[in-house]
Amino acid sequence: MITYRHVDSPVGPLLLASADDGLRLIEFEAPWHPAKRDARWREGDDAVLRETRRQLDAYFAGKRRDFDLPLAPHGTPFQMQVWRTLAEIPWGETWSYAQMARRIGQPTATRAVGAANGRNPLPIVLPCHRVIGSDGSLTGFGGGLPTKRFLLTLEGALRADDLFAAAH
Report pLDDT digits (tens) over 84-110. 999 999 999 999 999 999 999 999 999
The pLDDT of residue 36? 86
Backbone dihedral angles phi then psi of residue 71, each to the nearest 5 degrees: -100, 140
List, as own/partner pairs, every contact residues 156-163 make where C-beta atoms lie below 8 angstroms and the sequence separation is at least 24, other chains included.
156/91, 156/92, 157/92, 157/93, 157/94, 157/130
Report, as residue numbers or ranges, the catalytic residues.
Answer: 128
| In the chain, domain spans | 2-60, 77-167
Whether 153 and 160 have beta carbons less than 8 Å apart is answered as: yes
Whether 140 and 132 have beta carbons less than 8 Å apart is answered as: no
DSSP count for the chain of H helices, then E strands: 6, 6
The pLDDT of residue 166? 46
Please give the model's pTM, rounded to 2 decimal places: 0.90
User: Hey, how many other C-beta atoms are within 10 angstroms of the C-beta on 96?
Assistant: 18
Whether 69 and 55 have beta carbons less than 8 Å apart is answered as: yes
Whether 151 and 128 have beta carbons less than 8 Å apart is answered as: no
The pLDDT of residue 159? 67
| Same fold? 2-60, 77-167 | no
The pLDDT of residue 160? 54
CATH code for the structural domain at 2-60: 3.30.160
Sequence-distant (6+) residues with CB within 8 A of 47 are: none
CA atoms within 13 A on the CB side of 152: 28
Class of domain 77-167: mainly alpha
Adjacent-strand bridge partners of 5: 16
Each residue's pLDDT tens digit in the chain (168 positions)?
999 999 999 999 999 999 999 999 999 998 777 888 899 999 999 999 999 999 999 999 999 999 999 999 999 999 999 999 999 999 999 999 999 999 999 999 999 999 999 999 999 999 999 999 988 888 888 888 999 999 999 999 886 555 444 443
